[in-house]
Amino acid sequence: MLMRWLLVFVTGFSAGALAVVALEALGVYVFFKRLNRKIRQEQAKLSNESSHKDLDHRQSLDYFYNKKGFVWVLEPDKVPKNWAVEKIPKEQKKKKDVFEVNPVKKHAKIKDRCLILTDSNGSPATFPLKGCIVEAVSATDLSSRKWAKRFPIKVESKTSVIYNASKTVYIYLETSWEKESWCKALRLASCDDEGKLNWFTNLSEEFHCYLASLNTGYPSFMKPSAGFNAEH
């Protein structure tokens, strides 16, 4: 009889101990599960905020109206004379000549629809962009060559001198992505058609809203690939 009660006591004690251990394990599991969920939510929130800030910075019109960075400018007296293609006969235009140029690195900034070019010694040169013609110069008419970095952006005024006694400025960039971005900013600053500017503003805002909603629904889709290279 005593052995039976002892066996029942040991069995009950063991079952109770196992139940307590199981409850503790369940509590630890629930705690870490909630903790991991909270961490993931915080990470997703930070990721969305970072992505939205990046979208705001890269897609807003203010970014293009106040764009700045380093560019390479070909001084007017260093421009090859053969670049005056309008004076070359059509049969000679087909010939692809290679010119060696030596542009100078300058800090560029767009402010109040003017381009400010600053030398390494701190000497600035400012000229208005409004009304200027901005072209992406390339070797061919193919769009695939339009943003090749070895070809410059051409900024030209048809009415007045804008830079170092010249009506034309040739600007080179380090990468094809920078070339495309600067070309967009220069064209935006040079546009004197209010209707076109309003249309572009509305289009940019709609596109920005679309990117923001896409980033919210598919955050991984908006993350850049580690192997992406902007060079052509």
Does 186 score more than 80 pLDDT?
yes
Provide the pLDDT confidence category of residue 167 given band limits of 50, 70 and 90.
Answer: very high
Does residue 228 form part of some domain?
A: no
Q: What pLDDT is recorded for position 89? A: 46
CB 70 within 8 A of CB 107: yes
CB 155 within 8 A of CB 132: yes
Angle between helices 2-59 and 194-217 (to 10 degrees): 170
Given 59, 74, 97, the domain boundary residue is 59
Given 17, 38, 59, the domain boundary residue is 59
Is 0.75 surpassed by the pTM of this model? no
Q: What pLDDT is recorded for position 117? A: 94
Domain containing 199 — which CATH number? 2.30.29.30
Q: How many residues are listed for the chain in this entry?
A: 232
Same domain, 25 and 78: no
Does residue 225 form part of some domain?
A: no
Which one, of 130, 122, 113, 115, lies nearest residue 170 by Cα?
115
Cβ contacts of 169 within 8 Å, gap of 6 or more: 73, 74, 76, 115, 127, 154, 155, 156, 162, 163
Given 26, 59, 92, the domain boundary residue is 59
Mean pLDDT score, 2-28:
69
Same domain, 90 and 151: yes
- 188 vs 95, which has greater pLDDT? 188
The tokens describing 41, both together, are: 């939510």
- Domain boundaries, position 47: 1-59
Q: How many domains does the chain have?
A: 2
Q: Hey, what's the torsion of the CAs at 210, 199, 183, 70, to 10 degrees?
A: -70
φ/ψ region of 89 (left if φ > 0, alpha if ψ in -120 to 50, else beta) reads beta
Does 162 score more than 80 pLDDT?
yes
- 232 vs 170, which has greater pLDDT? 170
